[in-house]
Every structure is written in C-alpha cells, then in structure tokens.
C-alpha cells in the first residue's frame, strides 16, 4: 500500500472549482476505526450543499463524501477482516471527518456494513445511501409489500426517487412520479412508474386527480420544504406524506401544522442515519441481492473518475442526472 493517496479536497466553500485533487498521506489507523480502500462513492446533493457552505459545522479543507464502498485495508475489528467488502453511509462522513472522495478512507467500525456481492463497483456504489433512503422511506410510510396502494413520488428522477419507484413496483404498488423534464419520462417508465406527471411549477392537483380522483394513499416527497404543504393537500384524507429529501432546502417557511395538516392525514420523515452501520447492513444486503437478481434497478446515470470531481458536481448541480452519479477513485477514463 502506498504511503499517499489521491483525494478530492474541498478547500473552501464555493462552486465546483473549490474541489481540488490533492496527494495526501494515507490515514493512520487507530482503535475503533478501520482503513477502507475506496472503490466507489455515490454523489449526493447534501455534499453539494456542504461544498456551497451550508453545513455550519464543517471546517475546510475537508474531503467530502457521505458514502462509499470498498474493501477493508487495515482492520481493528475481528468482524471486519482485511479484504471484506464493505459499505458506509452518513455518521458525519465528509463533515466531521474525511469521507469517500478519496482512494482510502479512515472510518469508524460502527459505520461499516459488510456486504456479500458480485456486483461491479460502479453498481454497488450507486446503492447504499440511495436504496437505504428509499427503503427506509417506504417503511416510514407504512407500505407493506404485496398490499394494495397508490404512491406518488415527488422528485421522481432523483436517484432516491428512481430507487423508490423500483422497490414500489416490485412490491406491486401503483405508482406515479413527477419530473420537471418531459424528456426524462422514459427513464421513470423503465423503473416501473405507471403514471409520469410533468411538474411545470404550477398546480399539480389537476394531474394527480386525473390519475387518482381521491388522491394517492402515500406521497414520498423528495423535493421537500417547498412542496410539503402542497403534498399534504394532495394526499387522500387519512393518507401519509413522508419527507425524505431536501432538494428545495431545509426549512418549511411559516409552517402551521394545525392549518396545513388535514385531520387524519399523517406527516412523517426519514433520515438515512437511522439505517447506518449494523441497523442498515441486513437491509443493504437485501437490496444488493434484489439488484443481483434483476428485481431492483441500480439506476446508474453516469460514472466519473475522481479527477473529474468538479465536473461531476457541476453535472449534479445542473440537474442533468437521471438517477445516481458515481465516482470511481481508481479508474482513470
């Protein structure tokens, strides 16, 4: 193992250009943490916001990346032998300590999820944060596999939206999903969405009522704060809205629960931190197995080399992706 590694360092808050490729020392291992040879990292919009300076507790310079997959290079845990394939998500990766945008990452043992798989690295890297969030969100909504139901996904062409559609379709739910881009409708249909609704910024109510006059039973809102009040109006009375995304920011302005939540309607949320480490390992293994069996789709949109990380962030920031963007630190295109 080399004494140094390539890493994408966010040197300060700003645009994609603040992500610079540096040669850094490979981190030294200490008790409770293990060194992971990173083979792939999925990109997430939370990293974009951290890069822009919206994560108040992050100090720069910092190696971003809230998730990664790879193999254990140096272990301090007998349950994580050297060579074991692992995934890690959240737990302040890329915020309080350096994350997955590097050839190696020193990570807490409590975050590492052993995985058994034959999937290629780019496919495996597209799954952890995306599919754990999607599965956790469907669980938060109270969706039971095989039970009838109607699910509306707002922000359908996001990576989590497409993963949720893939899972919901496999469970037999009727699904609708929104997109702002009509040219992305085919991608949603390909993952099992029954009704693609173009959200042009106006009222979505007419399009939803045309499909389901009583409204959907469940709404997975990945746009978040800007659309939650509207989602509460759209869901059928007694239905459930789950907020799992923040594409429109973190806060609901002038939120009045009594006025905005109809009687009997439920508002919940999901954060992927609740499925990290030991809690997430069996869920992720189930997802990996379903992808390997062809039941779920990995929805990889584009793969970048680590050296092109600024371009990858620009691509993500411009909403060009339909699905997951992945970075491979060891493949130079």
Structure confidence at residue 184 (pLDDT) = 85
Superfamily of domain 131-272, CATH level 4: Medium-chain alcohol dehydrogenases, catalytic domain (3.90.180.10)
**Residue pair 315/151 in contact by the 8 Å Cβ criterion:** no
CB atoms within 10 A of CB 302: 17
- Give me the helix-helix angle, 45-52 and 309-317, nearest 10°: 100
**Residue pair 110/280 in contact by the 8 Å Cβ criterion:** no
- Per-residue tokens: 132: 């754990």
Domain boundaries, the chain: 4-126+298-328, 131-272
Q: How large is the C-alpha radius of gyration of the chain?
A: 20
Report residue 113: phi and psi, to 5°.
-110, 110
Q: pTM higher than 0.75 for the full model?
A: yes
CATH number listed for the domain at residues 4-126+298-328? 3.90.180.10
Distance (Å, whole) CA 207 – CA 38: 44
Structure confidence at residue 99 (pLDDT) = 96
Average pLDDT over residues 38-59: 93
Structure confidence at residue 245 (pLDDT) = 72
What confidence tens digit (pLDDT) does each residue in 138-180 have? 999 999 888 889 999 999 988 899 999 999 999 999 999 999 8
């Amino acid at each position: 193992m080399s004494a140094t590694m390539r890493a994408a360092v966010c040197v300060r808050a700003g645009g994609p250009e603040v992500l610079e490729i540096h040669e850094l020392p490979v981190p030294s291992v200490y008790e409770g943490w293990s060194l992971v040879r990173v083979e792939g990292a999925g990109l997430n919009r939370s990293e974009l916001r951290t890069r822009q300076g919206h994560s108040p507790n992050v100090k720069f310079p910092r190696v971003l990346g809230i998730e990664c997959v790879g193999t254990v290079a140096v272990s301090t845990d007998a349950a994580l032998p050297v060579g074991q394939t692992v995934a890690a998500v959240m737990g302040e990766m890329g915020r309080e300590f350096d994350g997955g945008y590097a050839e190696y990452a020193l990570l807490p043992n409590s975050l590492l999820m052993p995985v058994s798989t034959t999937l290629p690295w780019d496919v495996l890297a597209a799954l952890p944060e995306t599919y754990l969030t999607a599965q956790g969100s469907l669980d938060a909504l109270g969706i039971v596999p095989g039970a009838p139901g109607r699910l509306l996904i707002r922000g359908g062409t996001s990576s989590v939206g497409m993963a949720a559609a893939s899972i919901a379709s496999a469970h037999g739910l009727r699904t609708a999903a929104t997109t702002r881009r009509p040219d992305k409708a085919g991608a949603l249909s390909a993952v099992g969405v029954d009704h693609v609704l173009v959200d042009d910024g106006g009222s979505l109510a007419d399009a939803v009522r045309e499909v389901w006059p009583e409204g959907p039973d469940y709404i997975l809102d990945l746009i978040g704060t800007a659309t939650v009040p509207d989602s509460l109006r759209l869901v059928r009375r007694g239905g459930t809205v789950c907020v799992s995304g923040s594409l429109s920011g973190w806060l609901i302005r002038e939120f009045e629960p009594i006025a905005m939540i109809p009687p009997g309607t439920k508002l919940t949320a999901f954060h992927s931190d609740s499925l990290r480490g030991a809690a997430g390992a069996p869920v992720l293994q189930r997802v990996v197995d379903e992808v390997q069996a062809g039941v779920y789709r990995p929805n990889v949109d584009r793969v970048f080399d680590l050296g092109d990380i600024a371009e990858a962030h620009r691509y993500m920031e411009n909403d060009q992706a339909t699905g997951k963007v992945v970075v491979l630190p060891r493949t130079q295109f």
